[in-house]
A and B are shown apart, each in its own frame.
Chain A
Amino acid sequence: MNAVKTIFAIALIAVMTAGRPVTPGYEIGDTATDFKLKNVDGKMVSLSDYKDAKGYIVIFDCNTCPYSKAYNERIIALNKKYASKGFPVITINANDPSISPGDSFDEMKSRAKSKNYDFPYLMDETQEVARAYGATNTPHVFVLDKVSDNESKVAYIGAIDDNSRNANAVSKRYVEDAVDALIQEKSVPTTRTKAIGCTIKWKNS
């Protein structure tokens, strides 16, 4: 009987873990988990560190992806525009540096330095945060609405805007529209968008 139970348990585990990489991630309105990740300055950063924040612009990003490069200035501009309004930018790199050496912690440090990042650039070494959020590509934005001291809800998931190659030809600024709506306590006009991008470089399991 015990043997049957064991076999059943093994079969159950096999079924549960098959194709595991496809985690559903967050939907709009879900509570976003806080994290504690190492910043390029060596200090640990969490959402809860920002006592006065009204929300957050969390961006899964990296050094190497051409889309991340195309959006780099726009990400820097988002923090300049919204940090003072209570919506700081927090960037997180989840790429496995053994697959993408240009995304190592040292390379992250030099990117943050050369571009004068005035926002965190965190390393998600275990990739647990990227998996919990359901981040798939870079840059992938999650706008969070802080509803109480220790709870934030996902208000927008997707792209920064609708034109990757040309910032001057953008017609829909999804992230700005979402944050503006939250600041004005209105409903976010577009809550989910998709964009072409680089896959997050997951560890080989």
Chain B
Amino acid sequence: MKRLAFILLGFCWLTASAQSEAPLVKIQHLEKVMQTESDQIQVINFWATWCAPCIKELPLFEKLNADRQDIKVTLVSVDIDLDPDPDKVYRFIARKKLKSEVVILNETDPNSWIDKIDKSWSGAIPATLIVNSSTGKRKFVEKELKEGDLEELIATVKD
């Protein structure tokens, strides 16, 4: 009996850890990421599996995530807006072996949440928001980033 419980517990833990790779979140979750006081600079990238320029720039975020302790990368998939099945995103994360934190934004009416990320955002992706809670500075860009762009953008929110 004890053993069965142990196996069950282990099973729960396994499924939980698999799902936690890309939880479905609401806009409030992102607002919290943007507003919470942190020593780390938040780099929040909006992408989707169908978006070619997004996929092209993903390695830049992965590199940033691996190299910089002072930065927290969050990759926000907006796939659900077009396709309610998150499976495609899970498979993509596995195939690309993404190490950065991925969340899947589970909202249906973009008009209700786009302005909460940035008033200047048209809604087109890729788009990236950089927030430094210690200086209160933020930088939003709506374009595909090239090598070196992220470092420059991060520098603008530093002091």
Contacts and interface: CB of A to CB of B under 8 A. Distances in A.
Interface of A: 21, 66-67, 70, 136-137, 140, 158-159, 162-165, 169, 193-200
A140 B142 CA distance: 16
Interface stretch (B2-10, B29-37, B106-114, B151-159): B106-114
Contact of B142 (A66, A165, A199): A199
A197 B143 contact: no
Interface of B: 48, 50-51, 53, 78, 81-84, 108-111, 114-115, 121-126, 142-144
Most buried by A among B51, B81, B124, B144: B124
A162 B111 contact: yes
Contact of A137 (B48, B82, B123): B123
A198 B51 contact: yes
Given A194-B122, A199-B53, A21 B81 contact: no
A136 B126 CA distance: 12
17 contacts: A21-B143, A70-B82, A137-B123, A162-B111, A164-B81, A165-B84, A169-B108, A194-B115, A195-B110, A195-B114, A196-B48, A196-B114, A196-B125, A197-B125, A198-B51, A199-B142, A200-B124
Contact of B108 (A158, A163, A194): A163
A193 B122 CA distance: 9
Contacts of A195: 110-111, 114, 123
B81 A165 contact: yes
Given A136-B142, A195-B111, A199-B53, A165 B83 contact: yes
A194 B82 contact: no
A194 B114 CA distance: 7
Contacts of A199: 53, 124-126, 142-144
A136 B127 CA distance: 12
B122 A162 contact: no
B84 A196 contact: no
A106 B114 CA distance: 35
Contacts of A159: 110-111, 123
B124 A198 contact: yes
Nearest to A193: B111
B51 A137 contact: no
Contact of A194 (B84, B111, B143, B144): B111
Contact of B123 (A70, A197, A200): A197
A179 B108 CA distance: 24
B121 A67 contact: no
A186 to B, nearest CB: 21
A199 B50 CA distance: 12
Nearest to A162: B109
Contacts of A198: 51, 124-125
A164 B143 contact: no
A136 B114 CA distance: 14
Contact of B121 (A21, A158, A194): A194
A140 B124 CA distance: 10
B82 A136 contact: no
Contacts of B143: 21, 199
Nearest to A163: B108
